Amino acid sequence: MQGEIRAQGSDTPSLSIVMEDRKTTRANPAKAAAEKLNFWYGSNQALKNINLVIPEHQVTALIGPSGCGKSTFLRCFNRMHDLQADTKYEGAITLRPDNVNLVGPETDPIEVRMRIGMVFQKPNPFPKSVFENVAYGLRLRGINNKTELAERVEKALRGAAIWDEVKDRLNDSALALSGGQMQRVCISRALATEPEILLFDEPTSALDPIATAKIEELITELRQRVTVLIVTHNMQQAARVSDFTAFMYLGELVEVDATSKIFTNPAKKATEDYITGRYG
């Protein structure tokens, strides 16, 4: 614990250098907006009145201590909670430009997941070849034309900066790759269907530092193609990859601002306590 805090302290100077470059961060138009979002697991309210705008083509990070609801909030965007019995949404997450309420009971969760991709904490490629993993979503959408599949798979693998490493082993099982490679195949899989928002749920917590650095670099590049929402436990990671950071605590959204602002001059005491390592 001691070591961790010290490590954070020693990182702070370089961190603020990163911040300097981003002073100019301006919010793009909204891609999605949570409005008075409440969420319950059974009788336990996990999200309380969340209001948050997700700017288009930018990276928004969700930080906060364990159990603060950041993963729960992320999973509202692609309705993953619907797979569990006894969960309830209230309020709205509006997807722009067509103003669909992602959590509305009238909205088909399958449709939602067709438009919003997700990358998980643990790399979870399917027990299939690398190619079939990336082609999975395309095939679900009825694309079976060989040339089109090959083109889009290559594009997705290039997009996740893994094409050169796997181009000669597209037909090998994806489970034979290293953890970092698997995670990038999973990112390719999500990218292949050209989602409007890509959700990352602590995507590097199961990876070593080198693989983590590659994924982080990738995420910063991805913002040109897709709107990114990332949950992370690692505050340096939030500082490195994101344009905006939202701090959550006990199911509530405490503060959201440009990442440089949050990490240098947070408005709320709770945020400051968290990012300086006083709890969490």
Contacts with another protein, residue ranges (CB under 8 A): 78, 80, 83, 85, 110-111, 113-114, 117-118, 120-122, 124-128, 136-137, 140-141, 173, 175, 186, 189-190, 193
Nearer to another protein, 118 or 256 (CB): 118
Minimal distance, residue 144 CB to another protein, in Å: 13
Q: How many CB atoms lie within 10 A of CB 254?
A: 18
Minimal distance, residue 277 CB to another protein, in Å: 30
Residue among 75, 69, 78, 76 nearest 115 (CA): 78
Nearer to another protein, 113 or 214 (CB): 113
Residue among 141, 191, 197 nearest 163 (CA): 191
Nearer to another protein, 11 or 108 (CB): 108
Minimal distance, residue 226 CB to another protein, in Å: 15
Tokens of 76: 């509202």
Nearer to another protein, 109 or 277 (CB): 109
Residue among 159, 156, 77, 161 nearest 115 (CA): 77
Residue among 149, 159, 142 nearest 226 (CA): 159
Distance of CA 189 to the CA centre of its chain: 14
Minimal distance, residue 187 CB to another protein, in Å: 12
Cis upstream peptide for 97 (omega within 30°): yes
Nearer to another protein, 12 or 121 (CB): 121
> In this structure, are residues 280 and 64 in contact, taking their beta carbons and an 8 Å threshold?
yes
Minimal distance, residue 140 CB to another protein, in Å: 5
Residue found under tokens 């995507």: 203
Distance of CA 218 to the CA centre of its chain: 12
Tokens of 16: 């603020």
Tokens of 135: 């082609």
Nearer to another protein, 185 or 258 (CB): 185
Question: Helix 179-192 and helix 130-140: axis angle, to 10°?
Answer: 20
Minimal distance, residue 142 CB to another protein, in Å: 11
Minimal distance, residue 269 CB to another protein, in Å: 36
Nearer to another protein, 193 or 260 (CB): 193
Q: How many CB atoms lie within 10 A of CB 140?
A: 12
